[in-house]
């Protein structure tokens, strides 16, 4: 973790400095003894910078060679599933909940199930999930589900 911690600490310190710079630009009207809306972000940024420095010092003291190798296959699998979730979000915005959900559930099932996937099981799961959400939110709770913005 040594290198990852060093990198993390530098990012945290950088974020803290950016927050301080942004906070200094906040304009406000002060009244009696109120320290104003800048104080709290300054405090948060100060804690972040101090914590970042503490992580950096600890990382430098750690024995080298304790770095965890980056598993690219693991990251790719995670990125693929995350991208599918992003597509689902986009699809709900564009075509609405009803067309997007059965397809997304099927795709998620297909990806997660791996070798044990079956076409009809994925279709049933997609339709059953969509029906369940419709019954729960639309009929049961009279809530609105995402509607299409394209048409």
Partner 1 sequence: MIHAFIDLVHPLTFVIILGASILGVILGAIPGLSGGLGVALLLPVTFGMEAATGLAMLVAIWVGGVSGAMVGSILLGIPGSPSAIATCFDGYPMTRKGQAVKALGAAITASFLGTFFSILIAAWLSPIIADLALKLGPWEYFSLGFCAIALVASLSRDNVGKGMAAAALGLLAACVGFAPIDGTARFSFGNMYLSSGFDLIAMMLGLFALKQIVMDFARGTRAVQKVEARNISGFGVTLQEFRDNAWNLVRSFGIGIWIGFLPGMGAALSNMVAYAQAKSASKHPEKFGKGCIDGVFASEVSNNASVGGSVIPMIALGIPGDGTTAILLGGLMIHGIQPGPLLFTNNPEIVYTVFATALLSAVMVLVVQFFGMRLFPAILKVPYHYLYPPIVVLSFVGVFVNTGGAYIFAMLLGFAALGILMDLVKLPISPFILAFILGPMLESNLRKGFTYSTDGAWAFLTRPISAGLLAIAVFSILWPYLKPLLIRRRLSHG
Candidate residues 10, 17, 55, 95; the one interacting with partner 1 per rule CB under 8 A: 55
Is 21 a residue that touches partner 1 (CB under 8 A)?
Answer: no
Residues 6+ apart with CB under 8 A from 64: 2
CB of residue 19 to partner 1, shortest distance in Å: 6
CB of residue 74 to partner 1, shortest distance in Å: 5
Is 3 a residue that touches partner 1 (CB under 8 A)?
Answer: no
Size of the site for partner 1 (CB under 8 A): 76
CB of residue 13 to partner 1, shortest distance in Å: 10
Question: x/- contact string, 104-143, with partner 1 (CB under 8 A)?
Answer: xx--xx-xxxx-xx-------xx--xx-xx--xx--xxxx
């Amino acid at each position: 973790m040594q290198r990852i911690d060093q990198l993390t600490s530098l990012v945290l310190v950088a974020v803290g400095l950016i927050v301080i710079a942004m906070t200094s630009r906040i304009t406000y009207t002060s009244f009696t003894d109120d320290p104003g809306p800048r104080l709290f972000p300054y405090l948060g940024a100060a804690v972040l910078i101090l914590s970042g420095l503490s992580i950096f010092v600890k990382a430098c003291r750690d024995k080298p060679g304790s770095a965890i190798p980056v598993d690219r296959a693991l990251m790719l699998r995670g990125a693929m599933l995350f991208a599918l979730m992003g597509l689902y979000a986009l699809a709900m915005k564009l075509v609405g909940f009803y067309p997007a959900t059965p397809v997304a559930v099927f795709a998620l099932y297909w990806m997660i199930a791996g070798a044990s996937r079956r076409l009809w099981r994925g279709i049933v799961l997609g339709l059953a999930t969509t029906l369940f959400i419709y019954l729960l939110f639309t009929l049961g709770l009279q809530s609105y589900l995402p509607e299409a913005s394209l048409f």
